[in-house]
Structures are given as structure tokens and as C-alpha cells.
Structure 1
């Protein structure tokens, strides 16, 4: 059975944030009855806002991860029209892409690498996710600037909800340089991420600041000599962006 995270897993990975939001809502509601009338309305509004953000983030996660076609990978045809002879899957602690991609292309040679470094990837949510979903046994340890793959060895590289976990811009730059190095001419890097945009900010609120804006991804691509080749919006909140090296 292919493992995929749903809304319950998102809550489990990020339970401290959910607990803080609920505590804020309860505290504001409890204080509202003891405050002067002008402040009472503000406290109640704060409580309602906290509950609303938790509800919208949970509903969005449920829609994207449990109900949409994100994990069916049918959207791949729009950004990667040909099946790769060889492909690389890069993870940063939680790899739920290598198994479905291997099932989709059983004849394609797959290389899987894991960039997780607890000294660099300090997010508690990643540690919790990694405990629940260990990396596949064939995953090779790697660093953003040193992927254990020969130059021009693969037709496609996949960064599925992985690159944003590298919080330092220099690490992201090195990773994109390495992805460009291992791609064959005409190959594609497929980046799948929530972008920090209006839609994601509306449903995730302050949590959207964990995502990176479109301009940053395009900057990284240009830095590595990659250019946009195709794009597909999935479930209204996730962007699949294909970047190509050399000829289209």
C-alpha cells in the first residue's frame, strides 16, 4: 500500500501549532467576560479568528491531501509529457513521492535521496513526520550541494513538498544547481509546492509564511540555469512547476 499523508497526519505533524491556536481561542473567550466592553469585543473577535484559521487550514488540508487528485499524479501529464527513462526523487525528511512514481513508471530507473539533517532541518513537524513515515530503505543520504548522482544521469528530478524545508537560501541554491547538474539536456525538474500567494494565505493564514513565494522559486531556477517549461495548478492551492535544462 502506498503511504500518503492526509489532514489527520498534517495535524499530527503540526500539533503544537494547533494546540497554540486552540489555547489562544480558549483564552480569548475566557477573558472576554471579564474585560471592559470595548476590549470584550476584541477578545471575542480574536477567539473567533483563531478558530476560523484552524478550521480553514484543516479544511484546506483535507481537500488537498484527502479529496483532490494530488496523489493520483495524473496532473503529471501536463508538466512531464514523456515517461522518464531514469528519474531522481529528492526528499528532506518525508518521502511520499518515490513509491507512487515507481508504480507509475515501473520501467524507469529510480534514484531516491534523503537530504534530512537534524542540524539543518530543525522543524519539529519534519521530525514527527519522519518518525511516522521512515525514509525508504533504498534512499541514499545526501547534502543539498552533493547529490550522489552522475552528471546528466536522469531525465527528471522531483522535489515534491521538499525544497521549502531547506530554510537557508544558500542550501536551496546549491540544491537547484545539483538538480541542473544531474539532468540530461531537455530534462525537467518538477517542483511541487504550496506557493506563498493570495489563495494559500487566505486559508492557512500566518502558516503560509512557511511557504516560499513564486518569485523565489523562479530566482532559484534562473540561478541554476533552468527555465520554466510548464505549470499546473492542483487542487487550487498546490503548484506543479516544471523547469527545463537546455532544449525544451
Structure 2
């Protein structure tokens, strides 16, 4: 069993901005540039430039407020919502990370007697987002993490009660890699075992909050399809802060 080091403050809006600073910088420059350019344009063009600047500023404000609400003010990082999805606890479990592991420590703290494994899927060829590279430089892998591939998790067949994939699976941008991961999860779970999947979804609420950035997320139907292809059935679902969805999928036989 891995030994958890002293807890680190989980990512909030400050860290999200730090990891995604090029996007925020682009938004600020677009808003400021549009407003400055409007001063030198004829009236019709100036109105359009100011409207574009206002839209960019509003998008920045709304997305930052949404991020603060989810990551700083909700119970997302406390895992108080976990018993509703895993009433019997996680048992022997695997935490799947795609470069930023903020799951293993709080879960281990809540369930110190549960045996924990950590699989690190980080691979610059698979997890291509610059934000992941910046986050990884800031938050190194947890002690006991084992490098892994979507189609090769470092655990035995039917050896796990639970697999945690929290904000990790969507970082696999190729559908084939996600399908491989779900198939591996199904292989590793005991009969009736659970996959706990936590993700933002590409839905109305997230599009309203994050605009075009919501296309980085997958729609609910895509996750249900991946689970069904792997033989995992939906068992429970919970919305956190109105913008994050936690699913429990169960393997057959339970």
C-alpha cells in the first residue's frame, strides 16, 4: 500500500489559470486589443470591435467564476459525495492519472485501510495538452505511481474493487485509446466492481460556462458508449457544482 505524503492544496482557480495561462492571456489580449482598436476605427467598425472585446471579457469572467465555483467552493476535492456512489467504499482500487494526480492522496486519507495502486498514463504523444505539461511540472507524480498505457494497466485480471478516473480519461484524445482504457478497466475489475468516472461534459451548462473550451470535454453519450462497449453498466450518477458529473459504472456479475 502506498504511503500518502502530507496533503497538498488541490488545484483551484489560481492553478487552473497557471496551467492554462496562454488561453487566459489570449482572452485578455483580445479584449484589450479590441477596445484599444475601437478608438481608431470608424463608428460601425468601432461598435463591432467593442462588442468583440466585451464578449471576450465576459467569457473570461464567466469561465473564471465557474472554475472558482467548481474547484474552490464546491465539495469536489473533499470527496464527501463519494459514499453516495460507492457506499461500500473503494476497497482495493486503482487511481488512473493522465499527468495530474489529485485523487490518490484524498482517497487514501478517507480510506487509509484500502489498498491503493496508481497508474500514470502521462505520455506527451497521447496527452498532448500544454496545460498537462505545465501541471506536471508543478505537481510531480505521487509516490508509488507506475507508468502505464491505456491498453496495459499494471494490475491483475479481476483484482480490483474500484478504478478511479477523475478528469483523466478525456485527456486521451484518440477514441481508440479511450476504448482501450475502458477495456482494461473491465478486465481489471472483479465481478460487480466499479469504475468511478468524473468529468466535465460537453453539455449546455459547460458550454455556457466555458464557451468553445467545452469542446475539450466529451458528451455524456460518448462516455456511456465507451462503458457499454467494455461491458460496464451505468449504476449511479451525481452532478457536482452543476458542471461536473460523477458516474459509477459496474462490471458484470455483481
TM range (shorter): over 0.9
Q: Counterpart in 1 of 2:7?
A: 2
- In the alignment, is the contact (CA less than 8 A) between 1:93 and 1:127 conserved in 2? yes
Question: CA-to-partner distance for each residue in 1:186-205, whole Å, 9 max, x for gaps?
Answer: 11100000001000110111
Any gaps of 5 or more consecutive residues in structure 1?
Answer: none
Question: CA-to-partner distance for each residue in 1:27-82, whole Å, 9 max, x for gaps?
Answer: 11111122222221111110011011111111111111111111110111111111
- Paired with 2:45 and 2:248, the residues of 1 have a C-alpha distance of 50
Q: Counterpart in 2 of 1:201?
A: 207
SS of residue in 2 equivalent to 1:93? coil
Q: Give the alignment's TM-score, normalised by structure 1.
A: 0.98
SS of residue in 1 equivalent to 2:198? strand
SS of residue in 1 equivalent to 2:37? helix
Question: CA-to-partner distance for each residue in 1:109-157, whole Å, 9 max, x for gaps?
Answer: 0000100011221211000000000001210000000001001111000
> Which structure 2 residues correspond to residues 156-235 of structure 1 after superposition, within 5 A?
156-235=162-241
Aligned CA RMSD, in angstroms, stands at 0.9
1:72 pairs with 2:78? yes
Q: 2:108 aligns with which of 102, 114, 120?
A: 102
Q: Counterpart in 1 of 2:3?
A: none
- In the alignment, is the contact (CA less than 8 A) between 1:92 and 1:162 conserved in 2? yes
1:114 pairs with 2:115? no
SS of residue in 1 equivalent to 2:231? coil
- Paired with 1:207 and 1:52, the residues of 2 have a C-alpha distance of 14
Runs of 4 or more, structure 1, over 4 Å off, are none
- In the alignment, is the contact (CA less than 8 A) between 1:78 and 1:231 conserved in 2? no
Q: Counterpart in 2 of 1:149?
A: 155
Q: Counterpart in 1 of 2:26?
A: 20
- Paired with 2:194 and 2:143, the residues of 1 have a C-alpha distance of 26
1:54 pairs with 2:60? yes
> Which structure 2 residues correspond to residues 35-50 of structure 1 after superposition, within 5 A?
35-50=41-56
Any gaps of 5 or more consecutive residues in structure 2?
Answer: 1-5
